[in-house]
Amino acid sequence: MSNSTSKKKERFTSSGFILAAIGSAVGLGNMWKFPYITGKHGGAAFFLLFIVCLLLVGLPILLAEMTIGRGGRGSASSSFYNLSGNKFWGFLGFLSVLTPFLIMSYYAVVAGWTLHYAVQSFGGALNGQGIDFKQQFVDFAASGMPVVWQAVVMVICGGVIAKGVSGGIEKFNKILIPGFLIILIVLMVRSVSLPGAAAGIEFFLKPDFAKLDAESALVALGHAFFSLSLGMGIMITYGSYVEKQQSLGKATFAIGLGDLIYAFIAGLIIFPTVFSYGLEPGEGVGLAFMALPAAFAQMPFGWLFGGMFFLLLAIAALTSAVSILEVPVAYAMQKWQWSRKKAAVIISTVCFVLGVPAALSVTGVLNSFQPGGKTIFDWFDFSTSYVLMPICGMVVTLFTGYAWKRAGEEAGLKGFGYKLWMVLLRFVSPVLILLIFLYSVGIISV
């Protein structure tokens, strides 16, 4: 493995780093998963539980990843090696490079869908009465269009990455995130002022502690992990671009808070809209591409609000996608001494090619190929979110808790703060990650 010192230093500014990390954390999970699991598992009661999970597992591991990156100053793989001098840790770290590589292949497909829907909505094509939005999505996903949009996403992400850390990733986030915030607030105001919005707010937030059970706890934990983009080498790679004088502890809280606020507002957009038009609340594809378009089609100026909503999803997805792609690109630059441009072009192309079967498997020609009862798209999702991410999270927590003795120094933690962090990393996180893993692969049920 090569050393990073020979390379020209690439760095984030301090606010740029926090924005880029928030851009990564705030993704489709905040928009289409968090609100639904909150509503389903007891509203405000679940929200509190989620905050506890963020504090116990999410933030300690987020800090650990950034610390490994800044201390190791390498890729998600070589940082482990640089800090421990042990090839085995380097190999374990390599899993954190493989994971985003696979995630990117299908994440770009979904990001492409959001762009397509934004364009369609602004163009008025989703505004007619009596459209069957379910069928419309099925037909769209079966066509060749998703592959075209996937290519657009890869070109955007590859282009941003090719421009470098401060000139590309940081600038991209600095432009998009404030725009994102404005759209978010406009949509929230629109949504909570719809007639019948109160029922949606009630579904999302009414505390019901009786609904909290072991399953809610595992869902909250898994989401705390996913939502902060952990277990994918992202925060290690971004951390390697952070200046020594930046406080990682403060950054950790800022990123966690940013992620939480965005998720909260997303819920205030989605449920009032869905309930106001008498639609079924749900999550994922069904919510974003079937239920919500039906609501926007009935809303005055629905093409505008619908377009803004899909633009919001697209920005959330793109700022996350850029962070995913940067992990293998940084790895290739370091491992094979490729230039940034070359790495961006080659890795984007490979991810695109890998993602095409995923794109065509949703409802398209490859849909009938379902080994083990899952489409290719679902296999990409399952193997990364449920298997590789917890494993990579475990590697981070064990490495920082047990193997690397100088983590506290690099993280700027002393005394009580350091002890607490270590207790969480050594004892609490490994057990909880193991539980999430066993639960998600179906070995234990609750």
The answer to whether 258 contacts ligand PHE (rule: CB under 6 A) is no
Interacting residues with ligand PHE between 333 and 392 (CB under 6 A):
none
The answer to whether 28 contacts ligand PHE (rule: CB under 6 A) is yes
> Are the C-beta atoms of residues 263 and 316 closer than 8 Å to each other?
no
The answer to whether 64 contacts ligand PHE (rule: CB under 6 A) is no
CB of 104 to ligand PHE, least distance (A): 8
Nearer to ligand PHE among residue 18 and residue 197 (C-beta): 18
Q: What are the CA-CA distances from residue 119 to residues 307, 329, 422 (Å)?
A: 7, 29, 48
The answer to whether 306 contacts ligand PHE (rule: CB under 6 A) is no
The answer to whether 103 contacts ligand PHE (rule: CB under 6 A) is yes
The answer to whether 324 contacts ligand PHE (rule: CB under 6 A) is yes
φ, ψ of residue 94 to 5 degrees: the values are: -60, -30
The answer to whether 24 contacts ligand PHE (rule: CB under 6 A) is yes
The answer to whether 320 contacts ligand PHE (rule: CB under 6 A) is yes
Tally the residues of the chain: 446
Nearer to ligand PHE among residue 108 and residue 344 (C-beta): 108
The answer to whether 29 contacts ligand PHE (rule: CB under 6 A) is yes
CA distance 250 to 283: 32
**Site stretch for ligand PHE (CB under 6 A), options 177-185, 228-236, 342-350, 431-439:** 228-236
Kindly state the tokens that stand for 109. 């497909």
> Are the C-beta atoms of residues 20 and 246 closer than 8 Å to each other?
no
Give the per-residue SS3 of 191-257.
HHCCCCHHHHHHHHHCCCHHHCCHHHHHHHHHHHHHHCCCCCCHHHHHHCCCCCCCCHHHHHHHHHH
The answer to whether 236 contacts ligand PHE (rule: CB under 6 A) is no
Question: Which residue type does 291 have?
Answer: A
Nearer to ligand PHE among residue 4 and residue 24 (C-beta): 24
**Site stretch for ligand PHE (CB under 6 A), options 23-31, 55-63, 265-273, 274-282:** 23-31
CA distance 253 to 25: 13
Residues 114, 216, 229, 252: which binds ligand PHE (CB under 6 A)? Answer: 229
Nearest to 201, CA basis, from 259, 262, 260, 269: 269
**Site stretch for ligand PHE (CB under 6 A), options 188-196, 274-282, 285-293, 318-326:** 318-326
Interacting residues with ligand PHE (CB under 6 A): 24-25, 27-30, 103, 226-227, 229, 232, 234, 320, 323-324
